[in-house]
Amino acid sequence: MNFRSIVGLKHIARKPPPPSLPDYRYLFDHIPRTGGSYLASVLCELLGPTSENIDCGPDYPHTHPAEMERLDDFTVIVGHMRLDTVRAFNLIRPRRLISVVRDPVSQILSTYNFWRYNVTADLPHCNLAKTLSFSDFIRVPELRMTLDNPFTRHFFGLWEFDRLEQSDTSRILAVRMSESYSFLGVTERMDETVLAISALFETKPGFRMPKRPDYNASKGKTQVADRDREFLIQLNAMDYEIYRHANERLDRILRSNSVNSQSVSCEEGLSNCISLR
């Protein structure tokens, strides 16, 4: 039984958390195309059916209050979340934030391939991926939410038509927003990310590790031209700052062999949030 089928059973009897778990609750903010589904399956192995995957639209806190109350029983809530949803869950119970970031160009390429080859729904953005070359796709202005610093937009809580100003101040704020997360993993270093996560939950070695995809392997679907890669690197300067910082932070955690000592509560992190809408 896989992760999605487990969490889909609303009536399942929830196992009590293992005695070794700290008395914390967590939000796993699954940013799309970062390997979050795999890490969610790891959390499921660590915590059993105490993890649940949800898809939070822009009005989720207002349209699903009863579900939010029910999810409060879970040690870890997993889902595609926005800043408003994170704040709403934190009002019910302070939770620590977990997420994963990926090399920005790889994340954008993965999004393009997913929309082009895996999505069958008749959606405008997916149709663009199906009909345009990658070089043309990354230059469509209407796709700024996907192509123009999506990690920074995510952490700032910006929406599709919100303006994002690239500046030194914005870069600093983007990194500070990422620091409000108790743990920020790195897709290209998923084994080390899982090691740090297992330390976060103070689990003993030996749990059954789900099979990990090879995020560095080319699927042979789309090759990125040098000029397109350079264009995206320059466009996503703020996301690369977050990505660099996440790698440095993971290095420090692994060197110190202590995750909890570096954790801050969601409430502490969000207290410094600045609205950039």
Q: What is the pLDDT of residues 122-136, one digit of tens each?
A: 889 999 999 999 999
Confidence tier at 253 by pLDDT (50, 70, 90):
confident
Residues, the chain, total? 277
Contacts of 199 (CB under 8 A, 6+ apart): 253, 257, 258, 259, 260
Q: Is the pLDDT of residue 1 over 50?
A: no
* pLDDT surpassing 80 at residue 62: yes
Give yes or no for residue 189 having a pLDDT over 60.
Answer: yes
CA-CA-CA-CA torsion sign (4, 5, 10, 12): negative
Please give the pLDDT value at position 215.
58
Radius of gyration in angstroms for the set of CA atoms belonging to the chain, rounded to a whole number: 18
pLDDT at 266: 40
Domain definitions of the chain by residue range: 3-270
CA distances from 24 to 10, 69, 228, 250 (A): 23, 17, 43, 21
**Statement: the pTM of the whole predicted model exceeds 0.85:** no
Q: How far is Cα 32 from Cα 35, in angstroms, rounded to an integer?
A: 8
**What distance in Å separates the CA atoms of residue 59 and residue 61, rounded to the nearest whole number?**
6
pLDDT score of 194: 87
Distances (CA, A) of 260 to 74, 190, 257: 20, 19, 9
Instruction: Using alpha carbons only, give the angle 198, 199, 200 rounded to the nearest 5 degrees.
Output: 90
User: Rounded CA gap, 230 and 42, in Å?
Assistant: 34
pLDDT of residue 158: 78
- In the chain, count H helices and then E strands: 15, 5
Residue 268 has a pLDDT of 42
pLDDT at 184: 92
Nearest by Cα to 36 from 173, 151, 157, 117: 151
Q: Which amino acid is at 52?
A: E
**For 3-270, CATH number?**
3.40.50.300
- Residue 114: per-residue pLDDT: 92
> What rounded mean pLDDT belongs to the chain?
77
pLDDT at position 52: 62
pLDDT in tens, 133-176: 999 999 998 888 889 999 998 888 876 667 777 777 877 888 88
Question: How many whole angstroms separate alpha carbon 161 and alpha carbon 53?
Answer: 27
Over residues 20-44, the mean pLDDT reads: 80
Give the DSSP H/E element, type plus range, for residue 200: helix 190-200
Indicate the pLDDT class of residue 10, thresholds 50, 70 and 90: very low
- Bridge partners of 82, per DSSP, are none
Q: What is the pLDDT of residue 11?
A: 30
pLDDT at 14: 39
Does residue 13 register a pLDDT over 60?
no
